[in-house]
Structure 1
Amino acid sequence: MSILEKIQEKQPLILNLANFVTSQRVADAISFAGGSPLMTAEISESETLVEIADAVVVNIGTISEKDYPLFLTICQLANQKHKPLILDPVAVNVPFRANFVKRLMQEVKFDIIRGNSAEIAWFADKESLNKGIDALESNLEVEHARVAAQKTGAVIIQTGKVDVISNGFEELFVETDSPLFKINVGCGDMLSAIVGTFAAVSDDLFKAAYEATEFFGESGVKATEQVENLPGNFVNRLLDKIYQATQEVI
């Protein structure tokens, strides 16, 4: 049984500490893929929600210092309850965010980290040739993904024109480029959510990371072909393609 088939059978619950800019898109991506999205911003319900969740996805896109206790508690509970923990380190090379993530990583272990080349370079203590939160353009920088995986102990997904998935020892690649991923804010957040959904039903997180990235990338390429490179309708068409893939499995 494929991972996508397992998702349709189990309908895993994915708990999200979401970026408020993209939370609706994240919820839709999980739901259209066959999972069940759940968001929280309340620390008092952390233990209950992590207990019932099948995976936890945390996104630092719109964090503030007051969020740190919530993030720490949710992440620690995910580790304690052996729930896959996925990090989307939005703009982690900005000092406040870097400090936020460093403190988290002193206390918890992330199972999968999904970021662009500039963000992954930060985990490898390297300088990326690409800059900013939209560093998607060129330069595979495979070594950065490998070193980041070795330093963090996490499976690394480095997104770009060619996505690199590394466990620190081997790499897999997904060549499903679409220029509309970059233009549409939140596509990376959606991918992180899809990764969490795949990880929720798989014992092999490296395989789950690869298959989720391939699934999302292929859906994006098909969507791009249908909207003829016009970005306004891209996300809706992307969600349609994600949903259609699940219906084909069913």
Structure 2
Amino acid sequence: MATIKQIRDQSPIILNISNMVTPQHVADAINFIGASPIMFDDIKEAADLVNISNALVINMGSSNDTDVEKSIAAGKYANQKGIPVVIDPVAIGASQLRQDNFAKVAKEVKFDGVRGNAGELAFLADIEWNAQGIDAGEGDGDLHEIAKAVAQKFNCVSLLSGVVDVISDGQKVVEVKNGHHYFAVNVGCGDMLDGILGACLAVDNSLDSAVLAARILSIAGEIAGETTENIPYTFLNTVFDTLYQLSDAQINDLQKLE
């Protein structure tokens, strides 16, 4: 299992295909836990950048042909090199284009981690859910079964993030019950978790490391929320400060696992 100390000691390079909204937040989250972010824009440098990287994170929030081509090219190189690939199927239920683009990438690239909210992962699991754009929405599906189904479908770990984070490798399911409700009002916190997940899997590609990713961000939010009541944007800045200072001892002391 990865630790935050190992991330800081190894400083893995995390290559990101980000969406247009959150690249700065994602880069900051990766950097503040001690990893090293690279934001990837031109397909011509895919091979070179994958070659120096320790994980690839694909965010599908910007659905266009260029990003799909970049994702497939970089994903194939990452698979060949044997480094983890994380994908975020942003608002996949919202449009046929997003569904088609995800399917194109999934056909060509092997994933090591899939991170999304309940609505996004329920769509991948073919479980009925009333998703609301990028928001999880509501549904009656069992979150454990959704996470397990996605992990089994793609033979990877899945991280279903929400009020409670649910992580599965297709057999075992772990809940992380830390967190704070201000994550929901700050756009891009899920994308930040994508990057943190990439860093954790880069150090150790396992279910326990995916659980660590959820613990890191959720506990940072819990700590930040103690001093930022009614100031949700300050909350986000405090999350970054907390990520920079967070220790394994704090994580182990504060974690709420089931």
TM-score under structure 1 length normalisation:
0.94
Residue number in structure 2 paired with 1:44 = 44
The residue type paired with residue 173 of structure 1 is E
- 1:67 has 2:63 as partner: no
- 1:14 has 2:35 as partner: no
1:1-250 aligned within 5 A: 3-93=3-93, 94-135=95-136, 141-203=143-205, 205-245=206-246
The share of aligned pairs that are identical, in percent, is 40
The residue type paired with residue 190 of structure 2 is G
Unaligned runs of 5+ in 2: 251-258
Q: Is the 2:2–2:200 contact (alpha carbons within 8 Å) kept by the matching residues of 1?
A: no
Q: Separation in 1 of the partners of 2:59 and 2:194?
A: 9
- Taking a change above 3 Å as real, the CA distance of residues 88 and 4 of structure 1, as seen in their structure-2 partners, is same
Greater Cα shift, 53-62 or 122-131 = 122-131
- Taking a change above 3 Å as real, the CA distance of residues 198 and 107 of structure 1, as seen in their structure-2 partners, is same
RMSD: 1.8
Measured after TM superposition, the shift of residue 132 of structure 1 is 3.0
Measured after TM superposition, the shift of residue 230 of structure 1 is 2.0
Q: Separation in 2 of the partners of 1:81 and 1:201?
A: 15
Q: Is the 1:33–1:246 contact (alpha carbons within 8 Å) kept by the matching residues of 2?
A: no
Q: Separation in 1 of the partners of 2:44 and 2:241?
A: 36
The residue type paired with residue 25 of structure 2 is R
Measured after TM superposition, the shift of residue 2 of structure 1 is 5.2
Q: Is the 1:117–1:135 contact (alpha carbons within 8 Å) kept by the matching residues of 2?
A: yes
Q: Give the aligned length.
A: 248
- Taking a change above 3 Å as real, the CA distance of residues 78 and 216 of structure 1, as seen in their structure-2 partners, is same
| 1:67-90 alpha-carbon deviations (Å, 9 max, x no partner) | 222111001111111010000111
Q: Is the 1:136–1:161 contact (alpha carbons within 8 Å) kept by the matching residues of 2?
A: no
Q: Separation in 2 of the partners of 1:59 and 1:2?
A: 23
Q: Separation in 1 of the partners of 2:10 and 2:244?
A: 16
Q: Is the 2:200–2:213 contact (alpha carbons within 8 Å) kept by the matching residues of 1?
A: yes
- Taking a change above 3 Å as real, the CA distance of residues 76 and 2 of structure 1, as seen in their structure-2 partners, is closer
Q: Separation in 2 of the partners of 1:150 and 1:247?
A: 30
Measured after TM superposition, the shift of residue 66 of structure 1 is 2.6
Residue number in structure 1 paired with 2:255 = none
| 1:55-114 alpha-carbon deviations (Å, 9 max, x no partner) | 010101123123222111001111111010000111011211111011111111110000
3-state SS, counterpart of residue 63 of structure 2: coil
| 1:170-214 alpha-carbon deviations (Å, 9 max, x no partner) | 1000001311011000000001101111111114x2111001101
Measured after TM superposition, the shift of residue 50 of structure 1 is 0.3
TM-score under structure 2 length normalisation:
0.91
Q: Is the 2:200–2:209 contact (alpha carbons within 8 Å) kept by the matching residues of 1?
A: yes
Greater Cα shift, 63-72 or 91-100 = 63-72
Measured after TM superposition, the shift of residue 131 of structure 1 is 3.6
Measured after TM superposition, the shift of residue 134 of structure 1 is 1.4
